[in-house]
């Protein structure tokens, strides 16, 4: 069987790479697909596979006049988000995975999942998906090959990565590629695993069809494996957007920002400045992931390794994110949104009146006023970045863009002020390390609980979080011109639960202050926590319809709240044990002493 399989693989393959051919043959011998298809990334392939996905019910065509090239996918109701409790880092030593990751010994994981993969593709097609994370030819770029039995995965990977024959040509005979194996299996949560093998540059995913678990180039390679490779090779793989902000004078400043899922990352990446900011321009380099390396000129350079956006839909509208609405107007795959009678899509928070009747995300009739949501709270769009009206011309630059500022921001209803600047790199790493955010629907579990999420990487770091934070500290030695580090919080509320800051486009006012600080143009006020805007030469509030007391409350620092915050941070640092970096422990002690704690 294995010899026949190997011959069949080699006969149909558009490559002669011996390592790749042998691996595909070995995986095919285990999974036993009826046929093997090597994906070339062509338009003809997209058309053929889309037609097949419609025929087998994977995709539902939308109204092609309203949404040309757009389709709806409904996942299994038990399979609608990332499953952190079923996601494993498989290293020989449990300590290497760390206390914040689930760990499985590699041989045990290969054996356990191997039994699940055995014969799982009988009656199915194995698609071989060669893809690149990053622009072809960039020194940042990593190559992966995903084997999957899901045409939904192929069509999404086509949008999210540079996929196809050109990647095989770039790979040549090299054995340096990520080996990804995926099967939806029977979509049973009891047989669902997402396993990462950093030392083998390998990912095995079984039993899920949800994007975050099965688009193996995204969180799996770009972050979990990527963060491990970054530490080994001296760079950073981060859960960060990248944007360029250009002033009326033509000065462009690039910023990277980390926000946990569903905390406004895509909105910020595609921000439209308010009317008072005539002549200012925001352009998107990336909305979710940044790979950052020290450049030859001493600055930190970043690329977006992705080619598309896999964004949360609910709450997206022409007020919150006009550019996202334009981006998803064509050639977009929607997952778990509601369907209108005329073949359009709908979700909670969309513009206009709520329709009287819909088909909900599970395919059931839905009426206006229903207690259940029509679209799943974690419903998604997958759209090509080329659809974005404000896509940066540097988004495909193989050398990336120079990062002048790094922003950390979570969803906090109290404690954290609107904006502050770190005193130095180590203090900035401390701010990122202690970042807390109230949980959202992007991950399974309770919603609204504050959890520590360092650099928004807790679910995505592929090794010990203590070593990860030390790697951040060590990067200072490799970057002579360090970016300035900032912390923001758009979500602070008053005692009645009302947001104090309007957010969305008005976040430009905070971004302008950050840019001015980067270029040394505005003075600042020192506080116990960091530097904040001065009242006389701080945030530009012209035209902002918000009471002065609300701004004062949003920017306030309350020592009693911070004493409580520091106490809650203790649990996280205790979790890291002896690997908690000493420099961060010192930062915490200094802050406690400043607060009189």
Q: What angle do CA 593, 594, 595 make, to 5 degrees?
A: 90
CA distance linking residue 187 with residue 184, whole number of Å: 6
> Do you know the residue count of the chain?
597
Question: Alpha-carbon torsion 154, 156, 158, 161, what sign?
Answer: negative
For residue 277, give the 3-state DSSP assignment: helix
* Closest to 259 in 3D by CA, of 122, 453, 74: 453
* Closest to 538 in 3D by CA, of 513, 556, 515: 513
Residue 563's alpha-carbon distances to 559, 594, 596, in angstroms, are 6, 10, 9
Helices (H) and strands (E) in the chain, counts: 17, 31
Q: Are 178 and 143 in contact (CB under 8 A)?
A: yes
Which residues have CB under 8 Å from 61's CB, separation 6+?
A: 54, 71, 343
Q: Are 446 and 440 in contact (CB under 8 A)?
A: no
Q: Are 170 and 131 in contact (CB under 8 A)?
A: no
Q: Are 438 and 412 in contact (CB under 8 A)?
A: yes
With tokens 């209803």, the residue in question is 413
With tokens 């050398």, the residue in question is 399
Question: So which residues are the catalytic ones?
Answer: 263
Two tokens, residue 308: 């598309």
Q: Are 272 and 282 in contact (CB under 8 A)?
A: yes
DSSP labels, 516-563? HHHTT-S--EE-SSSEE--SSSS---TT--S-HHHHHHHT---HHHHH
| Residues facing residue 525 across a β-bridge | 532
* Closest to 121 in 3D by CA, of 51, 35, 24, 214: 35
CA distance linking residue 187 with residue 428, whole number of Å: 42
Q: Are 302 and 242 in contact (CB under 8 A)?
A: yes
CA distance linking residue 519 with residue 510, whole number of Å: 15
CA distance linking residue 311 with residue 38, whole number of Å: 28
């Amino acid at each position: 069987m294995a010899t026949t399989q190997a011959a069949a693989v080699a006969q149909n393959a558009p490559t002669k790479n011996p390592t790749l051919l042998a691996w595909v043959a070995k995986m095919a011998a285990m999974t036993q697909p009826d046929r093997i298809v090597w994906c070339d990334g062509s338009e003809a392939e997209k058309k053929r596979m889309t037609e097949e996905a419609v025929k087998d019910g994977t995709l539902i065509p939308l109204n092609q006049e309203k949404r040309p090239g757009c389709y709806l996918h409904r996942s299994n109701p038990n399979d609608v988000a990332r499953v952190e409790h079923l996601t494993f880092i498989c290293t020989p030593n449990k300590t290497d995975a760390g206390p914040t990751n689930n760990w499985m010994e590699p041989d045990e994981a290969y054996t356990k999942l191997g039994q699940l993969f055995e014969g799982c593709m009988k009656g199915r097609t194995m698609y071989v998906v060669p893809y690149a994370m990053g622009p072809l030819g960039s020194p940042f770029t990593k190559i992966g090959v995903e084997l999957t039995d899901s045409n939904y995965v192929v069509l999404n990977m086509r949008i999210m990565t540079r996929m196809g024959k050109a990647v095989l040509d770039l790979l040549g005979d090299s054995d340096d590629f990520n080996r990804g194996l995926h099967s939806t299996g029977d979509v049973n949560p009891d047989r669902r695993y997402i396993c990462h093998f950093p030392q083998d540059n390998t990912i095995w995913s079984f039993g899920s069809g949800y994007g975050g678990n099965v688009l193996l180039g995204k969180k799996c390679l770009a972050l979990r494996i990527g963060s491990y490779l970054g530490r080994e090779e001296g760079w950073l793989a981060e859960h960060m957007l990248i944007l360029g902000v250009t002033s009326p004078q033509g000065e462009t400043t690039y910023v990277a920002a980390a926000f946990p899922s569903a905390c406004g990352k895509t909105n910020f990446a595609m921000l439209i400045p308010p009317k008072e900011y005539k002549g200012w321009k925001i352009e998107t380099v990336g909305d979710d992931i940044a790979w950052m390396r020290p450049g030859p000129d001493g600055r930190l350079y970043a690329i977006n390794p992705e080619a598309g956006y896999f964004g949360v839909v609910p709450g997206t509208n022409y007020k919150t994110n006009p550019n996202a609405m334009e981006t998803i107007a064509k050639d977009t795959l929607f997952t778990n949104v509601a369907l209108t009678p005329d073949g359009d899509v709908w979700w909670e928070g969309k513009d206009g009146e709520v329709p009287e009747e819909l088909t909900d995300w599970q395919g059931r009739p839905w009426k206006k006023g229903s207690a259940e949501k029509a679209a799943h709270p974690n419903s998604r769009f997958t759209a090509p970045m080329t659809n974005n009206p404000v896509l940066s011309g540097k988004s495909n630059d193989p050398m990336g863009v120079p990062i002048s500022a790094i922003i950390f921001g979570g969803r906090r209803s109290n404690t954290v002020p609107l904006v502050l600047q770190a005193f130095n790199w180590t203090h900035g790493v401390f701010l990122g390390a202690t970042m807390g955010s109230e949980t959202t629907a992007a991950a399974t579990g309770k919603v609204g609980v504050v959890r520590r999420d360092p650099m928004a990487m807790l679910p995505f770091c592929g090794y010990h979080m203590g070593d990860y934070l030390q790697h951040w500290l060590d990067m200072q030695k490799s970057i002579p011109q360090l970016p300035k580090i900032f912390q923001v919080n758009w979500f602070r509320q008053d005692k009645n639960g009302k947001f104090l800051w309007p957010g969305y486009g008005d976040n430009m006012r905070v971004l302008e202050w950050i840019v001015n600080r980067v270029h040394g143009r505005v003075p600042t006020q020192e506080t116990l926590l960091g530097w904040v805007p001065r009242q006389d030469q701080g945030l530009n509030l012209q035209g902002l319809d918000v009471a002065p007391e609300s701004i004062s409350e949003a920017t306030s620092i309350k020592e009693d709240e911070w004493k409580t915050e520091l106490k809650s941070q203790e649990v996280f640092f205790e979790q890291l044990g002896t690997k908690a970096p000493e420099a961060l422990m010192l930062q915490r002690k200094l802050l406690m002493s400043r607060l009189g704690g």
